[in-house]
Structure 1
Amino acid sequence: MRDIIIIGSGPAGFTAAIYAARAELKPLLIASSVEIGGELMNTTEVENFPGFPEAVMGPDLMTKMQEQAEKFGTEIVYDDVVELDLDGPVKRVKLGNGGVEEARAIVYATGSAYRKLGLPEEATLSGHGLSWCATCDGFFFRQKTIAVVGGGDSAMEEATFLTRFADKVYVIHRRDSLKASKIMQQRAFDNEKIEFIWNAEIAAIHGTEAVSGVSLRDTVTGELRALDLDGLFVAIGNDPRTHLVHGKLELTAEGTIAVDGRSSRTSVPGVFAAGDVIDPHYRQAVTAAGSGTVAALDAEHYLAALDDAAGEPVQAAQLAAVAE
């Protein structure tokens, strides 16, 4: 049985692994059978992560985090978690290969997934004029013409933020009214750089090496028309990856994992959560990394308290009595 298992290989997971490994907890980090590194693996230059004044490519940043975690002794398993048993003092993690790993503490840092339009061009143009994060990529669109897809608060916030850089920002919404709060709507309406395109959806994204425009389909008439663009931002929401803990951990109204105040402590003792899976608002690499730090420290303190209560490192048979 291990001291700690970390589920997730984004900035939160790897940062938790670095801290846990340096605390000599010998963490096991379960990444993915397909691709590790989280959403940053789909980005190009990252200019807002501290310590990289010349920017760093998203995949390179995640590679460095992984190397740092492994340097201190983190073991990485390239497989998918298919089931969790969080009841009792010993937590069990079932993997896609049929294996089961056990630990006294779990850090759950599976992140979130941006909702996509479902168009084939998203796979080839992501990071090449197509983005899901204005804060991350807005700087690259100075004096450009861009569009934001969406009608909620996030879309209004992204569009307003992007006017700091772009000359023109279209907001494309499939209805004739917005879901955003009144104050966010008004802020966008009052911005002279923002123009709304109502009753429209993206039918196709154009461009080979970079976004050059889109085809818009009128949701009322079905008519198609072209719109030339230098960039496209999709702001139709995101979904925290909590499917493994439904019915096991308390969730918030936003669907993220509920934690105790500023801590990473979930509703189940010994289970800690970090990164986008607990954050419905900021969703930045640096805030996820900070959250991973909190989770590792909380887990370390939890394990130390168990050991102190037992008088020695707690074995599986002792944990139930200590945890009560």
Structure 2
Amino acid sequence: MSNINKCIIIGSGPAGYSAAVYASRADMNPILISGPKPGGQLIDTNDVDNYLGFYKGINGKELMDHCEKHARRFHTEIINQSVINVIFSKKIGGIHKIFIDDHQKFLSTFGVIIATGSRPNFLGLKKEKEFIGLGISFCATCDGFFHKKKCVSVVGGGDTALEEALYLSKICKKVYLIVRKNFFKASKILQKQIYKKHNVEICFDSIVQEIIGNEYLEGIKILNKKKKIQKTIFISGLFIAIGHVPNTEIFENQIELDKNNFIVVKHPKNSTNKPGVFASGDVVDFRYRQAITAASSGCISALELDRYLSSF
């Protein structure tokens, strides 16, 4: 049984690295499998201005480099590969199998912390990915501050889009809310709040046709599909709020997922329906999606896994 690990962490964003630090300090000798994008979504973020302790702000990639070094300091073993399949045991004290890169090689472990994160839905336009962190964002709480007293746009008609627009309306000069349909999908209370905002211009029946800018976002062209009218608006920030997709494909049929494929956990322990398997960060959090909340949930999962391992 000596070759069976105590803790394997799948994913390497704030949740994964935080879990690694706490698991290492608890003598679980964790192995962290970084996945195809070590550091997660934050490595594409130029400025992180709201992570506690970095009062001057920090580049997203630099922050993740710090997190990785922190995990390595406590002797976390990091494998820069991807997990392609898992087999989770249903028994308390059971052994879970984590397959890496090909079906011939797998790691055995009593405990798993899933921190695979999520990925945003894109509009599918040129320059969209190129300008991430250069005007294009998927999180108003994260990046809204950089557009204070400027004009911005939010794309989407659901709860997230309206929440983003409401947040931005407090700090920005004007917010263009671009909605593909002629109605909101958001809850009635959010609709009432958005209609009261005098600096929010709602563009129903509209889509973004083109992103304008050379080295960074300067504006967008939008089309009113009903009236067949195109117009250009000059903005410093474009916030895309058309949903996120959790990175849970490899866990289908192995763990309980909700209707949107986020992992279902029992709060506050972050435990899943499989004993010894915990989940943290954006793979379970469809609401806040902040680096600091992800790191916090990684800590919780590691502490709870330690308690679980001590129970048998």
Q: Under TM normalisation by the shorter chain, which class is it?
A: over 0.9
TM-fit CA distance, 1:219: 2.5
Write the distance in 1 (CA, Å) between the matches of 2:196 and 2:227. Answer: 29
Structure 1 residues 40-59: aligned runs within 5 Å: 40-59=42-61
Residue 10 (1) aligns with residue 13 (2)? yes
Correspondent of 1:94 among 95, 99, 116: 99
Runs of at least 5 residues in structure 1 that lack an aligned partner in the other structure: 307-324
Write the distance in 1 (CA, Å) between the matches of 2:86 and 2:125. Answer: 33
Tell me if structure 2 keeps the 8 A contact 1:217–1:223. Answer: yes
2:130 aligned counterpart, secondary structure = helix
Which residue in 1 is equivalent to 2:25? 22
TM-fit CA distance, 1:217: 2.5
What whole-Å deviation, never above 9, does each CA across 1:256-285 have from its counterpart, x for those lacking one? Answer: 211122111110001111111111211111
Paired positions, count: 305
Tell me if structure 1 keeps the 8 A contact 2:84–2:102. Answer: no
Write the distance in 1 (CA, Å) between the matches of 2:198 and 2:222. Answer: 22
Write the distance in 2 (CA, Å) between the matches of 1:73 and 1:222. Answer: 60
Write the distance in 2 (CA, Å) between the matches of 1:230 and 1:284. Answer: 22
What whole-Å deviation, never above 9, does each CA across 1:275-312 have from its counterpart, x for those lacking one? Answer: 11111211111010000001001111111222xxxxxx
TM-fit CA distance, 1:31: 0.6
TM-fit CA distance, 1:103: 0.8
Correspondent of 2:224 among 218, 229, 232: 218
2:308 aligned counterpart, secondary structure = helix
Which residue in 1 is equivalent to 2:69? 67
The alignment's C-alpha RMSD in Å is 1.3
TM-fit CA distance, 1:134: 0.2
2:181 aligned counterpart, secondary structure = coil
Write the distance in 2 (CA, Å) between the matches of 1:120 and 1:81. Answer: 31
Tell me if structure 2 keeps the 8 A contact 1:254–1:280. Answer: no
TM-fit CA distance, 1:253: 4.2
TM-fit CA distance, 1:221: 5.4
What whole-Å deviation, never above 9, does each CA across 1:13-37 have from its counterpart, x for those lacking one? Answer: 000000111111111100124x211
Which residue in 2 is equivalent to 1:106? 112
Residue 188 (1) aligns with residue 185 (2)? no
- Write the letter of the residue equivalent to 2:100: L
Which stretches of structure 1, 4 residues or longer, exceed 6 Å deviation after superposition?
none
Tell me if structure 2 keeps the 8 A contact 1:163–1:169. Answer: yes
2:16 aligned counterpart, secondary structure = helix
Correspondent of 1:301 among 279, 302, 307: 307
Which residue in 2 is equivalent to 1:83? 85
Correspondent of 2:166 among 153, 156, 160: 160
- Write the letter of the residue equivalent to 2:25: R
Write the distance in 2 (CA, Å) between the matches of 1:100 and 1:208. Answer: 46
Which residue in 2 is equivalent to 1:136? 142
Q: Name whichever of 43-52 and 241-250 sits farther off.
A: 241-250
TM-fit CA distance, 1:2: 1.1
What whole-Å deviation, never above 9, does each CA across 1:75-129 have from its counterpart, x for those lacking one? Answer: 1111111100102511111111442111111101111111111123112110011
What whole-Å deviation, never above 9, does each CA across 1:170-222 have from its counterpart, x for those lacking one? Answer: 00011111111111011011100100111111111111222111111333355
TM-fit CA distance, 1:9: 0.4
Write the distance in 1 (CA, Å) between the matches of 2:143 and 2:169. Answer: 13
TM-score of the aligned structures, taking structure 1 as reference length: 0.91
TM-fit CA distance, 1:8: 0.5
- Write the letter of the residue equivalent to 1:159: A
Write the distance in 1 (CA, Å) between the matches of 2:152 and 2:267. Answer: 38
TM-fit CA distance, 1:255: 3.0
Tell me if structure 2 keeps the 8 A contact 1:200–1:218. Answer: yes
Tell me if structure 2 keeps the 8 A contact 1:149–1:172. Answer: yes
What whole-Å deviation, never above 9, does each CA across 1:124-160 have from its counterpart, x for those lacking one? Answer: 1100111100000011111111100000111111001
Write the distance in 2 (CA, Å) between the matches of 1:194 and 1:225. Answer: 17
Which residue in 1 is equivalent to 2:178? 172
Write the distance in 2 (CA, Å) between the matches of 1:253 and 1:216. Answer: 32
Identity of aligned residues (%): 38
